[in-house]
Structure 1
Amino acid sequence: MTAIAVTGTGITPFGKRDESLKTLLLQACREALLEAERPRVDALFIGNFIGGPLANQEILGAMIAGELGLGPIPTMKTEGACASGGIAFRQAYQLVKAGEYDCVLVAGGEKMTNHPTETVITAVNYAMDNESSESFSGLTFPGFFGVLANRYMHEYGATKKHLALVAHKNRMYALNNPISQFKKPASIEEIMNARPITEPLGLFDCSPISDGAAAVVIQRTNSGGVEVLASGQSSGTPLMQEVPDMLRMNATYTSAQQAYAEAGFGPKELDVVELHDCFSMTEIIAIEELGLFEHGHGFEAVEQGQTKHGGTIPVNTSGGLLSKGHPIGATGVAQIVQIVQQLQGRACNQVDGAKIGLSQNLGGTGAYSTVHIFKKAGV
């Protein structure tokens, strides 16, 4: 039976890298193509957010295809802020599913550490509505998710310690991931007492500035690989003042429902999840919107260890954005790499018996969300 599957993965170490964006993308792509046994590639999709302002480089698709010797194939770059990589993967999957292509190479990458922090933050803020009153008032991404965290704590009784538990879990997972940006242990006390960024978020509650790239090969195949079961995508308002409920991330919920409907099952069938923890609070909201835990009870699940090995569902076994790193365009593809390797039984922090996995990639303050569901071969 013909299936659409990920047959090859590639990923670079995340963090401060000396290589260019082009070199990082090539490294990840070559690794993925070799693992897939060098298939004939019909198209190339690259997720990237701010390659222009930070790496002085656009035309990534044509450039990478040329360097890889793929010929005059169709190429494109997708941009959806932090969801750029997830959107690139979805576009490739949809076109293979539609029969347009048999094999597509998908990559994501970002080069962010070669500029002062102020320059990087200015570029990151391109993902906000910069003609809005919120932009003129100085609202930032930490500010938005800090407001969300304060509201959640007020409504449900969560505390800063619950945020620290998320950051601590992901840091502990990152210690075993060879590509992680952070490999130094951190205690709960250290996380809670770290330099404040915006109340109640501290340094460990916020994903770092990172360089890196990841790539996967998607093929129509009769054997091998990890099957792509479903894909969902949704949009939401980028403005806080238009959010109907600050405790909901509607794009995450809607894209998850689309993916569950296509897969033919719900969250109870999942064995492992990689989700978008740009801030520790975002992970708590995401586990609720994905249906892993009831709304208003995600923080309790974290406290009870339900999102770790031995709990209900291991979440962000890669270390997540918080500790694996967050090279923006690479993130959505890197999440897929971790899920694929989990289902192949060769991931860092391997989950025993993992058969079904999900990745969720968020863009902006909920402006975009993609959800993808995968199945182990032969299941």
Structure 2
Amino acid sequence: MTRALNKMSAAFVKSAPTGKHSDGGGLWLHRRSDGGAQWVLRVTVHGRRREMGLGSLSDTPLKQARMEAEKWRALARDGTDPIKEREKQRRQKARNLHMLGDVARDCFDARKAELKGDGTAGRWFSPLELHVLPRLGKVPVAEIDQIDIRDTLKPIWHDKAATARKAMERLSVCLQHGAALGLDVDLQAPAKARALLGAQRHKVTHIPFLPWQEVPAFYASLDQDTVTNLALRLLILTIGTRSRPLRYLRADQTLGDIWIVPADEMKGKRGTGADFRVPLSRQAMGVIDKARAHEKDGFLFPSVRKGVISDATMSRLMERRGMEARPHGFRSSFRTWCSEAAEAPWEIAEECLAHSTGGKVERSYKRTDFLEQRRELMQRWADFVDG
């Protein structure tokens, strides 16, 4: 038999005496002795009676209480516990309220192990921090769509193309992280935003480099044994290491004519566990011996104040001389020399530069770093550079 519904009037609810009053269908108004009142719904699920609060009378008028009661009664009729379902919905809502800023920082923390120096340099996170989070950081990730992303990156999409691409890529990783946390995220939003933004007009410019024929003259000009000059000379002679591992070179990393660079310091080898062995030419060992006179806190190229010389120190030396070329460009100088003058095998030249060669499967079977062949080639390069 159907139970009578809507027994109470709005006037009665307003002046109801202390006690419990039924509106039918399991909906009750409980008026307390202190004057306050609250709604309670009683339902039976799988033979078990359940009571759930529907809010206070001051916040929930009679009409709204009846609508809420019918919604939860319908679930109970289908065999769903309304109390558990409401708690589930609350948890889902709480998850969806995670702000992009929180998710991005959690994502960054999770990825630090695979980033150089645990990401302390900030280069992975900075595109987000500078160009995305100021506008979207306090927006729930569940609400971020392609329009939000387009409007955020549009000001830099063409003028700062490389930075905009990095920001888009980082944002996509953060959204994937949010999805892994169980958040309701639109993983296609970055791709759709990219389609809305269109192709970038920015033209890629490569780092200027010194023609290999001019390297010996420049190397000879670094005749004073200052920290910066010695660092530049060693960078030219050990071309595969890039700036960071060279600047952080410690005396205990060299053993005879081998410099062992930790994998975490090598671009492309982080996370592989494989250190990079650099064969040292006679000239390179001579530079290292001279650098030992400047050793401080274990570092061969220390800064005047604290730590090591900065990433820009060597660049500024070349800039002050009016040169367009930059330190990183010596890798191009060497690679061109390998092709045009040394006629070095392609794979050996690439290994000297610590480049990954071949496909993933091919690399998994590769069990050599061509140390002896590289030792011979690097000595030829050093002899050429040294004149």
Give the TM bin, normalised by the shorter chain: under 0.3
Report which of the two has the higher share of helix: 2
TM-score of the superposed pair, with normalisation by structure 1: 0.21
Structure number, greater radius of gyration: 2
Q: Which has the higher contact order (CA 8 A, sep 6+)?
A: 1
Report which of the two has the higher share of strand: 1
